[in-house]
Homo-oligomer: A and B are copies of this chain.
Amino acid sequence: MLSNSSKYAIKGVLHLANHSNEDQKIMVRDIYDTINVPEAYLAKLLQQLSKHQIISSMKGPKGGYYVTDVNREQTVYRVIEIIDGNHRLEACVLGIEDCNAEHPCPLHEYVNPTRAVLLNTLKKMTIGELANKLDKGYSFLS
């Protein structure tokens, strides 16, 4: 469903959301182990997210990645979109190009409504909300 890259990216953002802010930046080196993602790989992913303003970063000593209040409003869907592209989530289950309600693939009517529910959830759910639950111990990253 999601690529490894997206999974890692989401885990990374959520961890950052709970362990960083403008005054408390954090380095890849201090994250990768706790969330179980290869260091250099995570670095690349965070760079992409940073470039797209999902997270924030600052170079140099005392620098690092961090998540602002604005960043916290970003959605999970957006993260996936940036890393995987949206085709993976939105395209026809059977890969038929012009599959739609009028010209549906055999699985369309069964899969699409349910999938739409799922995608809408992802589109509404913000990093901040998820991070809060995580922070309260209602969920886990490993």
Contacts and interface: CB of A to CB of B under 8 A. Distances in A.
Interface of A: 1-2, 4, 7, 10-11, 14, 76, 88, 93-96, 99, 103-111, 114-115, 117-118, 121-122, 125, 130-131, 133-134, 138-142
B7 A93 contact: yes
Contacts of A110: 121-122, 125
Contacts of A115: 118
B7 A141 contact: no
A69 to B, nearest CB: 19
B139 A106 contact: yes
Contact of A114 (B104, B118, B138): B118
B141 A96 contact: yes
